[in-house]
Amino acid sequence: MSSYRQPGTVLTDHRFTVPLDHSDPSGERIELYAREVVAGAKAGADLPWLVYLEGGPGCGARRFVGKQAWLGRALQDYRVLLLDQRGTGLSTPANRQTLALRGGPQEQADYLAHFRADSIVRDCELIRKQLTGGAPWTVLGQSFGGFCATHYLSTAPEGLHTVLITGGLPSLDASAEDVYRAAYPRIERKNAAHYARYPQDVERARRIAEHLAEHRPVLPSGYTLTPQAFQSLGLMLGTGDGSHQLHYLLENAFVRTPAGHVLSDTFQEAVHAALSFAARPLYAVLHEPIYAQGTRPTAWAADRVRDEFPQFDAGKALAADAPLLFTGETIHPWHFETDPALRPLRRTAELLAARTDWSPLYDANRLAANEVPVAAAVYHDDMYVETAHSLQTARTIRGLRTWVTDEYEHDGLRASGGRVLDRLLALVRDEA
């Protein structure tokens, strides 16, 4: 372990080894990385632990500097552990460069089947016993991290002192199709709100899509920018400032050259940064498997369900002189054609999409008997997580207190500073 300082904080690096397959503890092991953060003035204090589970899947824990965002509020009460979930950050990586070491696509798919919430929670339990001496700890789960926290409550509540969930109460039994069938209307509403705010973007988006349909440019990174790929910039619309950032991106799309108007370098660079999965390939590869339970394959559910919403078809929108609708948190087979970071993983993703032996993730009966204090922020009309699904689950978990708000979007935990976390702590402590 090594310790070092940032403004107002002391940080310590931790590395742990855990079984790849927790049902085979003597088998292959992988490494996990986690960063401990404590307020500088409390570095030697005996503080309770809070482990933060990042959203995703496939995203390493956020890299804070000092007491940014919600971390400052957490450090008033806790020693915080920022965990790079398996396959992410400084934990044993899983990407196009490393997965080839596993063998072919089938071996890669079998390997990645161990990277869902069930394995992440069992990782946490091994880490907890090493760090706390067996004492339960608090879990803060953002988005997919909340899915993990709900699984934690279902399978190992003895390890939990308190659970705090932000934008991440999953349906306990919805299929991937159910999830996306609920998602597209929400995404359409976010589009309507964006175009109402920035009506000039209707024509800008159409002009860009028409250009892409005609030219199919390849960005300097090797990313093929198709109209469908361009539509997936709608992922931005689910965050507090995302609509504004999308507007700024669209207004700088074209530049005049001797050859006529072409996509500007500035636009191409910004689009690549927004669309590339190079830094988080598991987000794409495992996105639908996080909903899979039992023998039903996910089978590219978002792509199939999209056919039920023809208003999202770029070609039809352009032909009908209709606004181009951006999409949201949906992964499609073409992602594995346009993105060079995903192309080598296409067959692996197809095998995961066809898989029929997924273990159950949630135990409704155990959640109904829950005794762990739980509070959850549910963002009204959250583009990433269906509010109705979240509230149904909230009613199932005994004792859970909800805070339903439209003050923030899905990134409220980060965007609010410490306000969202402070509210949840007040709820779970019966102070609000």
Residue pair 305/180 in contact (Cβ under 8 Å)? The answer is yes
Tokens (6 digits) for 165: 């969930």
119 is catalytic: no
Catalytic residue among 114, 151, 335, 410: 410
Give CATH 3.40.50.1820 domain extents, the chain: 3-173+362-428
pLDDT (tens place) for every residue of the chain, 432 residues total? 789 999 999 999 999 999 999 999 999 999 999 999 999 999 999 999 999 999 999 999 999 999 999 999 999 999 999 999 999 999 999 999 999 999 999 999 999 999 999 999 999 999 999 999 999 999 999 999 999 999 999 999 999 999 999 999 999 999 999 999 999 999 999 999 999 999 999 999 999 999 999 999 999 999 999 999 999 999 999 999 999 999 999 999 999 999 889 999 999 999 999 999 999 999 999 999 999 999 999 999 999 999 999 999 999 999 999 999 999 999 999 999 999 999 999 999 999 999 999 999 999 999 999 999 999 999 999 999 999 999 999 999 999 999 999 999 999 999 999 999 999 999 999 998
416 catalytically annotated: no
Active site residue 143: yes
Q: Does domain 3-173+362-428 have CATH number 3.40.50.11540?
A: no
Other beta carbons within 10 Å of 343: 14
**pTM for this structure?**
0.96
pLDDT tens figures, 117-154? 999 999 999 999 999 999 999 999 999 999 999 999 99
Task: Check 143, 154, 276, 416 and give the catalytic one.
Answer: 143
235: left (phi over 0), alpha (psi -120 to 50) or beta: alpha
Residue 236 near residue 243, CB atoms below 8 Å: yes
d(CA 424, CA 430) in angstroms, rounded, equals 10
